[in-house]
Amino acid sequence: MTDLFDIEHDSFGYDEPTLDKLFETLKQEVRSSSANYSQEVFRLHWLGRKQGRLKTLREGWSKSAPPEALKPLGIRFNQLKQQIEAALAGAAATPVASAAKSCLDFSLPGSVRAMGIQHPLLKTMQEIVSVFHDLGYSTALGPQVESDFYNFEALNFPPNHPARDTQDTLVLADQQAKPSRERLLMRTHTSPVQIRSMIAQAPPVRIVVPGKVHRNDAADATHSPVFHQVEGLCVDANITFSDLKGTLDHAMKALFGSAVKTRFFPSFFPFTEPSADVQISCIFCAGNGCRKCKNSGWIELLGCGMVDPAVFASVTEARRKINQADDAYNPEKISGFAFGMGVERIAMIQHGISEIGHFYSGDMRFLEQFA
């Protein structure tokens, strides 16, 4: 083998074929020495700071090389150094891998990497949904961008109805040329999923609908233009208001404790008749009156009611357009109830949070409290 250590003292050509031949010889020497030397001896032999073979060859050859040969020479030395470092890395990994292989116990359970904590809103939403899963409800989901038909018209919000003012929404641009019912908007509630579910399937229907909704509201301590809802729908033969009351009373006790009481007050929603607002006894003062319940002993929590026959009529019309010419949603044969609650409001009550903006701030000091 050529003694390349002394080549810097000799005269040789720096053309590409000569360099290729010289560095191929060096690469063979690296492979040979990595197999025969210990890791530390190999490192010092090639990469020693004062007398390392790589340093000596690089300095000697660079001094005698013509200017046009410096670049190809530098490229080859860098490649050689990478090969040396790779050989060192392989030598370092070999004993560790061998030790790990020899002591690996396949009977031990695998290690599980802990995931990040659930966001308090998602945690509350899942708690609500699980309560209704236990009652036999299934989860239904739908798009956040909805048509006017699903978001308003099918839910008995005809055009120019004053009830639309309470759900002032965010409409997508360039919709004016479309018919009113086809115009797209950001959904203001998850109720459109109820319509979609009834169009897709005949009764019985028992669904719970969690999701994000959008309204053109100014942000303050208790309002946000983006928030979350969980709505529910039950449609079958002989469903009564008593079924609605019993279902929600059970759900509130499951969420806030068995001592919680519920009461219903007449209200108005276009898609239910009769309609009601639901209050629970204050969980902070046990109904005795405090600042959080405005000394009333009660906290308003959600809305509900029996499904309006006009909603069933819209569903029947839509089903006929997809060749479902039946009377599955004939209000003389079936009935149902619906309810809806704000996830943020329930989470704020559960955790004593006074500012809805904390949920969206991304402040780790706030979120780490729920770890």
List the structure tokens of 121.
Answer: 């809103």
Per-residue model confidence as pLDDT tens digits over 49-84: 877 888 888 888 888 888 888 888 888 888 888 888
CA–CA gap between residue 136 and residue 131 (Å, rounded): 9
What pLDDT does residue 42 have? 84
Rounded to the nearest 10 degrees, what angle do helices 16-36 and 70-103 cross at? 20
**Which one is predicted more confidently, 217 or 330?**
330
For 256, other C-beta atoms within 10 Å of its C-beta total 19
Q: Which residues contact 316 (CB under 8 A, 6 or more apart)?
A: 327, 328, 329, 330
pLDDT score at 101: 47
**Mean pLDDT, to the nearest integer, of 301-329?**
92
Confidence of residue 12 (pLDDT cuts 50, 70, 90): low
What's the whole-model pTM score?
0.66
Instruction: Using a pLDDT cut of 70, give the percent of the chain over it.
Output: 91
Using pLDDT thresholds of 50, 70 and 90, give the confidence band for residue 165. Answer: low
Answer with the residue of higher pLDDT: 231 or 103.
231
